[in-house]
Amino acid sequence: MLRRILRGKAIVPLLSALFMLGAAATHAEDAKPRIGGGMIVGIGADPGVLNASISANLVEKTISSNVFSMLIRLDKTFQPVPDLAESWDISEDGLTYTFHLRQGVKWHDGQPFTSDDVKFTIEEVILPLHSRGATYQGVIDTVEAPDANTVVITLKTSFGPLMNALGYDFFILPKHLYAGTDIKNNPYNAKPVGTGPFKFVEWEKGSHVALARNEDFFIAGKPYLDRLVFQTIPDAASRVLALESGDIDYLSYQSVPSSAVPRLKETPNLTTTTEGFESLASIGMLSINVENPILSDVRVRKALAYAMDKNLIAERADYSVGKPATGPIASTSWAYEADVEAYAHDLEKAAALLDEAGYPVKADGTRFSIRVIADGAVEFHRKAAEILKEQFAQVGVNLELELLERNVMLDHVYIKRDFDTQIHIFSTGADPAIDVSRLYVSTNIRPVNFTNASGYRNETVDQLFAEGQSAFTLDGRVAAYQEAQKILVDELPAIWLEEVGIVGVWNSKFHGLHEWSAYSYYSFWDAWTEDGKEQ
């Protein structure tokens, strides 16, 4: 495994002592954090890029969040805490946000960080290139940098989730390395330079991404770890075995197969938690290409929904860690609408709808064939696809499985739109304006990952999402989102399978994990190991 490989391979001097043991381990929950040592984070697939400002891919954000900084971060209650901005003011009308930046911050290459970097990143990167850029473009009017330490964001209309968005998607890039370049193909997407707690060291594709402690990080004394390595292990069972054997130190979210959770909870040297995932509210869903000639008929989509047994999917694909989903917004959200069509498992109704749509059973026992694309490295994706194949066959629909490597899957679905259906787990986030609308509004049909790949268009839904993000009162926002849910569940651009159970697991010699952030699954600068040295 990588731990043994790195011990015998001098990647660069920064990694030479990556996993040298420090002082003897101590049982001291109340002990002060120790300095030094390294942590290996297991991931299920290679990143596509190391720039989360142009991608919402979980793997890429997991790594990039430790290299780059944002204006603010979010705690477990989604309250903003300082990052690059040490304070901020919001005008009474909610349209002007003024951020006062920390002084003396440097990029990892030694160049000074200024407000121009923030202005450039928002205007030239986030708005045109990010999967949620169209949403932000609709509300951000101007970004000004009146001096080196001040940024002023002015909105076109009130946008309640702005601070949530700034603490989620707005990783700030160095203007001096990106201005005037092809941003999507800039070489620094593979060797990032940030202002964050860790510096980029090496990316060996198919193996690992290595980071080292940023000695000049603007938060004194952080991070505690000297080294942070993200090791790619595509096979879920192998990831779990690596954690149990001590070859890796941390797994979370999609990297933890639900089948292993009961065993991991009982393993003496491991810590498990469901906290620190407050931002996710993740839903596993079957996204549907509504421009497919067969699937463009809503009767066919409804037939597929009735053919499903979601309880069986939750039991067998997620081992009952999660629960069946009813729509595009998780039941834990303030915007959830429960009063929607449930599509209870009903094979007779499914068959009748398929007959009505003009797809009778043929001599071979089938009506038609469609494909499903999924990231085969994620256990839920793979098992849900296999279960749906069995369930759809009961009404004469042949589901052809295409279990692909993650980046190949993303290219097929979002860039080429060469798919019929896709199984994927999506974060529905702290606010529907950020993580839900992107999948359904017609303005977000574009070749960017995690956008409206279904090609779904409904002007009323577009209007309701616009009202939901700009309504002055919470009641107004709730009303808009609940009405949008009713339409989406009726028209089914996707079929929502399960509210996925989410668990983080790590070696118990590590401390400081999942303690304060709503995004703990990719925030590691508070982590420390008992193998480190006393301060």
pLDDT digits (tens, 9 = 90+) for 267-290: 999 999 999 988 888 999 999 999
Helix 298-307 and helix 379-393, axial crossing angle in degrees, nearest 10: 100
CB-based contact 430:78 (threshold 8 Å): yes
- pTM for this model (two decimals): 0.78
CB-based contact 184:192 (threshold 8 Å): no
CB-based contact 313:324 (threshold 8 Å): yes
What is the per-residue pLDDT across 230-256, written as a single tens digit (0 to 9) for each? 999 999 999 999 999 999 999 998 899
Model confidence at 28, in pLDDT bands (50, 70, 90)? very low
For residue 205, pLDDT over 70 is answered with yes
CA-CA distance, 278 to 264, in Å (whole number)?
A: 21
Domains in the chain (CATH in brackets) are 2-67+196-278+502-529 (3.40.190.10), 72-178 (3.90.76.10), 282-499 (3.10.105.10)
Q: 168 or 55: which carries more pLDDT confidence?
A: 168
Q: 322 or 474: which carries more pLDDT confidence?
A: 322
CA-CA distance, 173 to 192, in Å (whole number)?
A: 9
Question: What pLDDT, on the 0 to 100 scale, is given for residue 77?
Answer: 86
Secondary structure (3-state) at 350 = helix
Beta-carbon-side half-sphere exposure of residue 8 (alpha carbons within 13 Å): 4
CB-based contact 171:65 (threshold 8 Å): yes
- Token pair, residue 488, equals 């989406």
Query: Of all helices (H) and strands (E), which one includes residue 128?
Result: helix 127-129
Model confidence at 431, in pLDDT bands (50, 70, 90)? confident
Q: What percent of the chain has pLDDT over 90?
A: 79
User: Going by DSSP bridges, is the β-strand pair 368-375/397-404 parallel, antiparallel, or unpaired?
Assistant: parallel
What is the per-residue pLDDT across 501-531, written as a single tens digit (0 to 9) for each? 889 999 999 999 999 998 999 899 999 999 9
List all residues 6 or more positions away from 272 whose beta carbon is below 8 Å from its beta carbon. Answer: 261, 264, 265, 503, 504, 505
Helices (H), 121-254: 127-129, 133-137, 162-166, 175-178, 236-245
CB-based contact 406:44 (threshold 8 Å): yes
Question: What pLDDT, on the 0 to 100 scale, is given for residue 515?
Answer: 94
Q: What percent of the chain has pLDDT over 70?
A: 94
CA-CA distance, 434 to 78, in Å (whole number)?
A: 13
CB-based contact 197:223 (threshold 8 Å): yes
**Residue with tokens 């990167």, as numbered in its chain:** 125
In Å, what is the CA distance from 204 to each residue of 190, 230, 236, 253? 10, 10, 20, 23
Question: What pLDDT, on the 0 to 100 scale, is given for residue 132?
Answer: 83
Q: Looking at residues 141-169, what average pLDDT do you find?
A: 94
CA-CA distance, 530 to 119, in Å (whole number)?
A: 41
What is the per-residue pLDDT across 445-468, written as a single tens digit (0 to 9) for each? 999 899 999 999 999 999 999 999
What is the per-residue pLDDT across 71-121, written as a single tens digit (0 to 9) for each? 999 998 889 999 999 999 999 998 999 999 999 999 999 999 999 999 999
Number of H helices, E strands in the chain: 17, 21
CA-CA distance, 313 to 201, in Å (whole number)?
A: 41
What is the per-residue pLDDT across 124-148, written as a single tens digit (0 to 9) for each? 999 999 988 888 998 999 999 999 9
CA-CA distance, 226 to 108, in Å (whole number)?
A: 15
Question: What pLDDT, on the 0 to 100 scale, is given for residue 56?
Answer: 75
Q: Looking at residues 7-11, what average pLDDT do you find?
A: 37
**Residue with tokens 């996204």, as numbered in its chain:** 287
CA-CA distance, 185 to 181, in Å (whole number)?
A: 8
For residue 12, pLDDT over 50 is answered with no
- Token pair, residue 525, equals 């600068």
Question: What pLDDT, on the 0 to 100 scale, is given for residue 11?
Answer: 37
Question: What pLDDT, on the 0 to 100 scale, is given for residue 118?
Answer: 98
Q: Looking at residues 168-179, what average pLDDT do you find?
A: 96
Question: What pLDDT, on the 0 to 100 scale, is given for residue 532?
Answer: 95
For residue 32, pLDDT over 50 is answered with yes
- Token pair, residue 22, equals 């420090």
Question: What pLDDT, on the 0 to 100 scale, is given for residue 133?
Answer: 86
For residue 27, pLDDT over 50 is answered with no
Model confidence at 10, in pLDDT bands (50, 70, 90)? very low
E strand intervals along 480-531? 494-499, 504-507, 510-511, 528-529
Query: Of all helices (H) and strands (E), which one includes residue 303?
Result: helix 298-307
State the chain's mean pLDDT as an integer: 91
Question: What pLDDT, on the 0 to 100 scale, is given for residue 30?
Answer: 60
